[in-house]
Amino acid sequence: QVELEESGGGSVQAGGSLRLSCALSQGTTSNRCMGWFRQAPGKERERVATIDSGRSTSYANAVKGRFTVSVDSTKNTLYLQMDSLNSEDTATYYCAADRIWGRLGDMCAYHIWGQGTQVTVSS
Protein backbone atom coordinates (compact mmCIF):
# COMPACT_ATOMS: atom_id res chain seq x y z
CA GLN A 1 0.00 0.00 0.00
CA VAL A 2 2.99 2.30 0.65
CA GLU A 3 4.70 3.22 -2.61
CA LEU A 4 7.81 5.38 -3.07
CA GLU A 5 9.04 7.37 -6.05
CA GLU A 6 12.49 8.98 -6.14
CA SER A 7 13.45 12.01 -8.20
CA GLY A 8 16.13 14.69 -8.36
CA GLY A 9 19.13 12.71 -9.52
CA GLY A 10 21.47 13.94 -12.21
CA SER A 11 25.04 14.74 -13.15
CA VAL A 12 27.04 17.36 -11.27
CA GLN A 13 30.66 18.38 -10.85
CA ALA A 14 32.57 17.71 -7.65
CA GLY A 15 31.72 20.28 -4.99
CA GLY A 16 28.20 20.71 -6.29
CA SER A 17 24.84 19.96 -4.68
CA LEU A 18 21.72 17.97 -5.40
CA ARG A 19 18.48 17.43 -3.55
CA LEU A 20 16.77 14.08 -3.91
CA SER A 21 13.07 13.67 -3.26
CA CYS A 22 11.05 10.60 -2.38
CA ALA A 23 7.29 10.98 -2.63
CA LEU A 24 5.14 8.66 -0.56
CA SER A 25 1.90 7.44 -2.04
CA GLN A 26 -1.12 9.57 -1.22
CA GLY A 27 -3.05 8.43 1.82
CA THR A 28 -0.07 6.94 3.65
CA THR A 29 1.52 8.53 6.69
CA SER A 30 5.07 9.90 6.74
CA ASN A 31 5.20 9.09 10.46
CA ARG A 32 7.42 6.08 9.87
CA CYS A 33 11.07 5.17 9.53
CA MET A 34 12.46 6.22 6.17
CA GLY A 35 15.89 6.40 4.67
CA TRP A 36 18.24 6.63 1.75
CA PHE A 37 20.52 3.89 0.50
CA ARG A 38 22.91 3.80 -2.43
CA GLN A 39 24.69 1.28 -4.58
CA ALA A 40 27.61 1.98 -6.89
CA PRO A 41 28.70 -0.38 -9.68
CA GLY A 42 30.71 -3.26 -8.24
CA LYS A 43 29.97 -2.27 -4.65
CA GLU A 44 27.59 -3.42 -1.96
CA ARG A 45 24.50 -1.43 -1.10
CA GLU A 46 25.11 0.93 1.80
CA ARG A 47 22.98 2.98 4.15
CA VAL A 48 23.35 6.71 3.57
CA ALA A 49 20.93 8.37 5.97
CA THR A 50 17.83 7.44 7.94
CA ILE A 51 15.13 9.25 9.86
CA ASP A 52 12.71 7.58 12.26
CA SER A 53 9.14 8.39 13.28
CA GLY A 54 10.45 10.71 16.01
CA ARG A 55 12.56 12.47 13.37
CA SER A 56 15.88 11.34 14.85
CA THR A 57 18.47 11.03 12.10
CA SER A 58 21.46 8.82 11.45
CA TYR A 59 24.18 9.19 8.82
CA ALA A 60 26.91 7.07 7.35
CA ASN A 61 30.34 8.39 8.28
CA ALA A 62 31.15 9.00 4.63
CA VAL A 63 28.36 11.56 4.28
CA LYS A 64 28.12 13.03 7.77
CA GLY A 65 28.34 16.80 7.65
CA ARG A 66 27.58 16.89 3.93
CA PHE A 67 24.15 15.27 3.59
CA THR A 68 20.92 16.12 5.39
CA VAL A 69 17.82 13.94 5.50
CA SER A 70 14.45 15.49 6.25
CA VAL A 71 10.71 14.97 5.88
CA ASP A 72 8.05 17.44 4.80
CA SER A 73 4.84 16.01 6.24
CA THR A 74 2.62 18.47 4.35
CA LYS A 75 4.02 17.24 1.04
CA ASN A 76 4.35 13.64 2.21
CA THR A 77 7.91 13.68 0.89
CA LEU A 78 11.32 12.53 2.10
CA TYR A 79 14.37 14.56 1.06
CA LEU A 80 18.11 14.12 0.91
CA GLN A 81 20.06 17.35 0.57
CA MET A 82 23.53 16.50 -0.73
CA ASP A 83 26.26 19.14 -0.55
CA SER A 84 29.98 19.06 -1.29
CA LEU A 85 29.51 16.08 -3.56
CA ASN A 86 32.54 14.08 -4.63
CA SER A 87 33.15 11.24 -7.06
CA GLU A 88 32.69 8.65 -4.30
CA ASP A 89 29.04 9.70 -4.08
CA THR A 90 28.33 8.42 -7.58
CA ALA A 91 25.68 5.71 -7.24
CA THR A 92 22.06 4.81 -7.69
CA TYR A 93 20.17 6.19 -4.72
CA TYR A 94 17.11 4.46 -3.33
CA CYS A 95 14.63 5.59 -0.73
CA ALA A 96 13.05 3.06 1.57
CA ALA A 97 10.40 3.01 4.27
CA ASP A 98 9.12 0.87 7.09
CA ARG A 99 5.85 -0.88 6.29
CA ILE A 100 4.82 -0.26 9.92
CA TRP A 101 4.40 3.29 11.11
CA GLY A 102 5.58 4.83 14.38
CA ARG A 103 8.75 2.86 15.11
CA LEU A 104 11.94 4.38 16.51
CA GLY A 105 15.69 3.91 16.26
CA ASP A 106 16.86 0.31 16.28
CA MET A 107 13.29 -0.91 15.86
CA CYS A 108 13.14 0.53 12.35
CA ALA A 109 12.95 -1.76 9.35
CA TYR A 110 12.98 -0.95 5.66
CA HIS A 111 10.57 -3.05 3.63
CA ILE A 112 9.34 -0.73 0.89
CA TRP A 113 11.72 0.47 -1.80
CA GLY A 114 11.60 2.99 -4.62
CA GLN A 115 12.89 2.49 -8.15
CA GLY A 116 16.07 4.51 -7.60
CA THR A 117 17.55 7.67 -9.08
CA GLN A 118 21.03 8.00 -10.56
CA VAL A 119 23.58 10.45 -9.17
CA THR A 120 26.80 10.97 -11.10
CA VAL A 121 29.56 13.24 -9.79
CA SER A 122 32.48 14.12 -12.05
CA SER A 123 35.90 15.09 -10.74
Q: Across the 123 residues of the chain, what is the mean pLDDT of every consecutive 10-residue run?
A: 93 98 92 97 96 97 98 96 98 97 96 97 94
For residue 48, count CB atoms less than 10 angstroms from its CB and return exposed for 0-12, middle for 13-18, buried for 19 or more: buried
Residue 48: the pLDDT is 98
Predicted pLDDT at 1: 80
How far apart are the C-alpha atoms of 17 and 14, rounded to whole Å?
9
In the prediction, which pLDDT does 31 show? 94
pLDDT at 44: 97
**DSSP-derived secondary structure letter, 73:** T
106 φ, ψ (degrees, to nearest 5): -70, -15
pLDDT given for residue 113 in this prediction: 97
Closest CA to 5 of 70, 69, 78: 78
CA–CA distance from 63 to each of 2, 67, 112 (Å)? Answer: 27, 6, 23
pLDDT of 27 = 84
Torsion of CA 102, 108, 110, 111, to 10 degrees: -60
